[in-house]
Amino acid sequence: MKTTVNFLNTSDVGIFFETYSQLGFRLNSGLMVIGPCAVFPRSVLHWNVRNVDDISEESLSLFTILEPKIDILVIGVGEHKCLSRFNPKLIQHLRSKRIGMEILPTDQAVATFNFLNSEKRYVAGALIPPSYIPVDDDNLEEDELYLDNTVPDMFEEYKNPGSAEVEASFKKAKDQFFKWRKETEKDKH
């Protein structure tokens, strides 16, 4: 039996995050990573944690055994409110291994990882998708553009533009989605 390895990122640019959502992360290569991930300048792995409460010495062990040592570990814990739940003993543990770290909400962690990686630093990221993303008019416009431009391509029926029944069904589902998002946002405040 022969083993085959396929490189998902063959670019010399390295790995950068384009967007993130409650489901995961989209990389500059166009790949979507579902769920938490461990990311390095040229590779990305699934990270087996569900939320900040699952982060432990064991879940961070990959970052402590690498040679050469990483310059900095950027940990994205989800939302800002999750920062207080990060176990302070883990900070001591990483310091004892001489690993610098930044513990941030995921939106800031993604930006920090991208910046440090663009500077060619030996950076790693341990990122958990946020469970909540605030909704504002800009987000709604972006979501609407995404739904209008991406979702129709997912359905074969949309390749036939004369399908008014399917288009009406899509419009109704889209309207319900935006109504739900606005109501959810009101409930959060």
Instruction: Label residue 73 by pLDDT band (50, 70, 90).
Output: very high
Higher-scoring residue by pLDDT: 187, 134: 134
Domain boundaries, the chain: 17-127, 137-188
Q: What is the pLDDT of residue 162?
A: 53
> Is residue 5 over pLDDT 70?
no
CA-to-CA separations, 28 to 13, 96, 127, 167, in angstroms, rounded? 9, 34, 16, 31
**Residues for the chain: how many in total?**
189
| Interatomic CA distance for residues 107 and 79, integer angstroms | 8
Q: Which residues of 51-90 are buried (b: 16+ CB within 10 A; e: fewer)?
A: ebeebeeebbeebbeeeeebebbbbbbbbeebeeeeeeeb
Higher-scoring residue by pLDDT: 108, 2: 108
Spatial neighbors of 136 by CB under 8 A, at least 6 apart, are none
Q: What's the whole-number mean pLDDT along residues 131-136?
A: 72
Report whether 103 contacts 88 (CB < 8 A). Answer: no
CATH 3.40.1230.10 matches 17-127 = yes
Nearest to 53, CA basis, from 106, 90, 96: 90
